[in-house]
A and B are shown apart, each in its own frame.
Chain A
Amino acid sequence: MASLKALKVRINSVKSTQKITKAMKMVAAAKLRRAQEAAQNGRPYAERLEAVMASLASRVGGVGASPLLAGTGKDQVQLIVVATSERGLAGAFNSNIVRAARRKADELTAQGKTVKFYIAGKKGRVLRRFFPNAILADHEMGHIKTVAFDDARVIADDLIARYLKGEFDVAHLFFSKFVSALNQEPTGIQIIPVPLPEKQPAAAGAGAVVEYEPDEESILADLLPRNVAIQIFRALLENAASEQGSRMNAMDNATRNAGDMINRLSIQYNRTRQAAITTELVEIISGAEAL
């Protein structure tokens, strides 16, 4: 049986761990609110852009369109962009994203495709261990505190430049979709070539003759890179919110577990103490009787 002193030390250590997890939970909750707001604020832009893209793309059609829309005509080299967080201690948040990306990679490899990775976020670097020769780039994001559109723009520009150089044919983006504070879903979407939004016949065919300046093709060509950037931006925002939600949960659980452990240890401590007292008493009494 552990000594009283050892138990006391143990209890104190668990108590300080609990203090830390509790503080982290509270910080995550506060950050979550802000991250969620940011994710919501980004929605109107994305929605409007998507609507415009849909109506434009249905007009322009696939002929002579930009490679960002039409693709390279091949799908041999598949790029997987993995967006993760910079910090750990967020439950299964990062490993869920990485697992989803790996599953996709295995699936594509089984189809005979070449898979490459583009890592955005420090925690995605574990992929190096699994695919040491398939890492195309590792995008440094450690300096970013709150995600701004420019951060996404940098990634998008880099991706598009690599795409036009022919480094890959199709790009998928993996991130964690924020469903609620309790539920985050690792998700993969295709970002290059830009998948066309479903045509909405009611909205597009409203009969209004829209005038374009310059022409439809030029506007679309201007919008396509922007669409890639906005997809990445949204993914980063969703990721930020998911990360905080996931951390809040993980830390809540950790705090609860620490509480349980403290209770258990306290009971053990009290019993041990009582046992020691009883033994001492028995010794004194039997000593007295022997006289």
Chain B
Amino acid sequence: MLHFELVTPEKLLRSEEVHMVTVPGTEGDFAVLEGHAPFMSTIRDGQILIQRSPGAAPESIAIRGGFAEVSAKGLTVLAEHAG
């Protein structure tokens, strides 16, 4: 499972284990699965899609301004606004 965190300046919005997250990057959307290579990207305003398990209907959260970081610990999305 992929550890996913969604953080805004106001609070830590999500911190959970998920299957896959699709992030709207500045240079195109990218999806992150478990074991993704270290990666960092700024994000554009858009929807972030969270899939809890393979094949499950994705949950969508609107985010605005920020960046995403993939490290060994998982995916962290820092957004100025979310939800």
- Footprint of B on A, CB under 8 Å? 38, 41-42, 44-46, 48-49, 52, 148-149, 152-153, 208-214, 218-219, 222-223, 226, 229-230, 233
Inter-chain contact B42/A233, CB cutoff 8 Å: no
Chain B interface bracket (under 10, 10 to 19, 20 to 34, 35 or more): 20 to 34
Inter-chain contact B10/A226, CB cutoff 8 Å: no
Secondary structure class of chain A's binding surface, majority of residues: helix
Rounded to whole Å, the gap between the CB of A282 and the closest CB of chain B is 74
**Is B24 an interface position by the 8 A CB rule?**
no
Number of A-B contacts (CB under 8 A): 75
Q: Which of these, B25, B66, B72, contacts A213 with CB under 8 Å?
A: B25
Secondary structure class of chain B's binding surface, majority of residues: strand
Q: Which of these, A41, A48, A211, A229, contacts B10 with CB under 8 Å?
A: A41
Q: Which of these, B11, B26, B40, B67, contacts A42 with CB under 8 Å?
A: B11
Inter-chain contact A210/B9, CB cutoff 8 Å: no
Inter-chain contact B78/A48, CB cutoff 8 Å: yes
Q: CA A44 – CA B10 in complex, angstroms?
A: 9
Inter-chain contact B67/A222, CB cutoff 8 Å: yes
Inter-chain contact B39/A210, CB cutoff 8 Å: yes
Inter-chain contact A38/B39, CB cutoff 8 Å: no
Inter-chain contact B11/A219, CB cutoff 8 Å: no
Inter-chain contact B9/A219, CB cutoff 8 Å: no
Inter-chain contact B80/A214, CB cutoff 8 Å: no
Inter-chain contact A211/B78, CB cutoff 8 Å: no
Inter-chain contact A213/B7, CB cutoff 8 Å: no
Which residue of the partner chain B has the closest CB to A43?
B12
Q: Which residues does chain A contribute within 8 Å of B25, judged by CB atoms?
A: 213
Q: CA A209 – CA B5 in complex, angstroms?
A: 21
Rounded to whole Å, the gap between the CB of A33 and the closest CB of chain B is 15
Query: How would residues 1 to 45 of chain B score, 1 for a CB under 8 Å from any chain A CB and 0 otherwise?
Result: 000010111111000000000000111000000000111111000
Which residue of the partner chain A has the closest CB to B79?
A45
Ordered by A's residue number, 13 sampled pairs between the chains whose C-beta atoms are within 8 Å are A45-B7, A45-B8, A48-B69, A48-B78, A52-B40, A52-B78, A149-B80, A211-B39, A212-B41, A213-B26, A213-B27, A214-B42, A219-B42
Q: Which residues does chain B contribute within 8 Å of A210, judged by CB atoms?
A: 38-40, 71
Rounded to whole Å, the gap between the CB of A214 and the closest CB of chain B is 6
Inter-chain contact B26/A38, CB cutoff 8 Å: no
Q: CA A223 – CA B9 in complex, angstroms?
A: 13
Q: CA A45 – CA B82 in complex, angstroms?
A: 13
Inter-chain contact B40/A48, CB cutoff 8 Å: no
Rounded to whole Å, the gap between the CB of A157 and the closest CB of chain B is 12
Q: Which residues does chain B contribute within 8 Å of A211, judged by CB atoms?
A: 37-40
Q: A49 with B71: in contact, given A38-B10, A44-B12 (CB under 8 Å)?
A: no
Q: Which of these, B67, B76, B81, contacts A223 with CB under 8 Å?
A: B67
Inter-chain contact A149/B26, CB cutoff 8 Å: no
Q: CA A156 – CA B7 in complex, angstroms?
A: 20
Rounded to whole Å, the gap between the CB of B44 and the closest CB of chain A is 11
Q: CA A229 – CA B39 in complex, angstroms?
A: 24
Known contacts A49-B78, A149-B80, A226-B66; 17 additional CB pairs below 8 A are: A38-B10, A42-B9, A44-B5, A44-B11, A45-B78, A52-B67, A149-B81, A208-B38, A209-B38, A210-B38, A210-B71, A211-B38, A212-B39, A213-B26, A213-B27, A218-B42, A222-B67
